[in-house]
């Protein structure tokens, strides 16, 4: 490719956007266009400003990118405004992407971003950078929405990415992370953005591809490997079934790639296990290959009615059984619960608290979250989660006993903020 312009892609490399940017940077460095793009990873706003100024003054066409969840949208908007105030006339293209930008595209544009990527970002970003390298107008890039005379102009979306096509991280720039092994989710839980962002079907990275990147990770000197997937035990399966044969091929290949001193973490952060997938056979398989002694299990509610309304696809006793089996197998279950789910009545809250106590008596730890009405989900317009004083006292009691952990108190404020900012449906 004959370059007519040199381009700098400056990524606001902060939580939570850095997880997406690690993947996107990997796509850039592996593509031919990456030969003409300087990647930068500033981790705070002062470094961001200094990097943008330096790249601009060195003659680059500068793209500054943000990726954020709904809860971190205000911080990204504030940083964007802060940066623009200090650019002193420098021309910079400011773009945004991620789950919130996809679900609330117009809101994101009106917050001040020049272009907003809609859907899965790898092909969109590569096309945008290619246009810039060739000296073309980036505003025409497929999958990026823009404002024209105050009106939003959509230009399609990115979707259906084949994971093997792109690296899971940016090894050449030493930006490593957990390997995304599955994208999309068939379990369309009404509170979750994943199936509505990446479609309600599974797309798995191949075992051979995962093993290759595991070797790259280990050769970089890193000892631990983790994975990103909406449901850990669904690897290799197209539906609700568990394919233990495919899972064993994956874990055996990763264990070999990581060598005798490597550590494999599976079914734990940053992913989880569905309770109906916790069986003696599945646990025995994990025991043979993984180093983690914790399992993250999605319980979400102790109310049968709320589980059904939120389309969880399992009942309360399945959560209890999964917890008991995990403890018997030598794991510490960390069971997730969401407080304040839509439609909860006092009896539903009491049922959740009772289940929390029951599971902790069995040997589990309980992880508390507060419901957030996330854009792009069926629960988008629901009231934000709240926790009454009596429930809060009980949760505090569980926390003081070491049974409960989590940021559910802080998430009450975040949930209210999301509800206050949401735009009316058109």
pLDDT given for residue 160 in this prediction: 85
Torsion of CA 157, 100, 368, 362, to 10 degrees: 10
- The gap from C-alpha 146 to its chain's centroid, in whole angstroms, comes to 24
- What is the distance between the alpha carbons of residues 105 and 334, in angstroms, rounded to a whole number? 35
Q: How confident is the model at residue 15 (pLDDT cuts 50, 70, 90)?
A: confident
384-416 residue pLDDT tens: 999 999 999 999 999 999 999 999 999 999 999
Write the CA distances from 173 to 6, 58, 67, 295, integer angstroms. Answer: 18, 20, 19, 31
What sign results for the dihedral spanned by CA atoms 186, 189, 192, 196?
positive
Contacts of 413 (CB under 8 A, 6+ apart): none
Q: What are residue 204's DSSP bridge partners?
A: 182
The beta strands (E) that lie in 35-143 are given as 37-40, 61-67, 93-97, 115-117
Percent with pLDDT over 90 in the chain: 93
Could you tell me the pTM of the whole model? 0.94
129-144 residue pLDDT tens: 999 999 999 999 999 9
Write the CA distances from 204 to 209, 227, 230, 235, integer angstroms. Answer: 10, 12, 11, 7
DSSP state of 142: T
Q: How confident is the model at residue 65 (pLDDT cuts 50, 70, 90)?
A: very high
**Mean pLDDT value across residues 377-384:** 95
157-180 residue pLDDT tens: 988 899 999 999 999 999 999 999
303-320 residue pLDDT tens: 999 999 999 999 999 999
pLDDT given for residue 324 in this prediction: 98
- Inter-residue contact 382 to 373 (CB < 8 Å): yes
Q: How confident is the model at residue 200 (pLDDT cuts 50, 70, 90)?
A: confident
């Amino acid at each position: 490719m004959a370059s007519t312009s040199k381009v700098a892609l400056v990524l606001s490399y902060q939580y939570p956007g850095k997880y997406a940017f690690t993947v996107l940077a990997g796509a850039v460095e592996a593509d031919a266009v990456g030969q003409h793009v300087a990647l930068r990873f500033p981790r705070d706003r002062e470094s961001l400003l200094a990097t943008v100024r330096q790249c601009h003054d060195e003659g680059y066409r500068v793209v500054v990118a943000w990726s954020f969840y709904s809860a971190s949208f205000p911080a990204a908007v504030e940083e964007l405004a802060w940066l623009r105030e200090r650019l002193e006339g420098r021309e910079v293209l400011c773009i945004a992407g991620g789950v919130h930008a996809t679900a609330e595209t117009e809101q994101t544009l009106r917050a001040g971003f020049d272009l907003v990527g809609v859907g899965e970002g790898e092909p969109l970003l590569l096309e945008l950078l290619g246009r810039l390298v060739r000296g073309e107008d980036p505003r025409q890039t497929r999958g990026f929405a823009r404002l024209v005379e105050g009106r939003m102009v959509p230009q399609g979306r990115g979707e259906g990415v084949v994971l093997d096509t792109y690296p899971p991280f940016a090894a050449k720039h030493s930006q490593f992370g957990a390997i995304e092994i599955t994208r999309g989710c068939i379990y369309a839980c009404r509170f979750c953005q994943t199936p509505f962002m990446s479609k309600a079907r599974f797309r798995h990275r191949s075992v051979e591809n995962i093993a290759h990147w595991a070797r790259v990770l280990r050769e970089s000197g890193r000892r631990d490997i983790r994975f990103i997937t909406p449901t850990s035990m669904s690897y290799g399966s197209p539906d609700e079934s568990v394919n233990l044969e495919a899972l064993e091929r994956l874990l055996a290949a990763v264990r070999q790639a990581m060598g005798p001193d490597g550590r494999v973490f599976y079914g734990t952060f940053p992913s989880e296990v569905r309770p109906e997938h916790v069986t003696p056979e599945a646990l025995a398989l994990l025991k043979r290959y993984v180093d983690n002694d914790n399992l993250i299990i999605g319980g979400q509610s102790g109310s049968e009615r709320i589980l059904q309304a939120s389309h969880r696809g399992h009942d309360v006793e399945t959560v209890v059984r999964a917890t008991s089996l995990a403890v018997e197998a030598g794991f510490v279950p960390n069971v997730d619960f969401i407080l304040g789910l839509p439609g909860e009545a006092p009896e539903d809250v009491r049922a959740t608290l009772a289940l929390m106590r029951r599971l902790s008596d069995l040997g589990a730890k309980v992880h508390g979250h507060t419901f957030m009405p996330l854009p792009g989900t069926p629960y988008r317009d629901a009231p934000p989660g709240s926790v009454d004083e009596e429930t809060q006292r009980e949760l505090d009691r569980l926390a003081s006993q070491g049974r409960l952990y989590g940021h559910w108190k802080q998430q009450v404020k975040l949930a209210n903020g999301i509800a206050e900012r949401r735009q009316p449906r058109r």
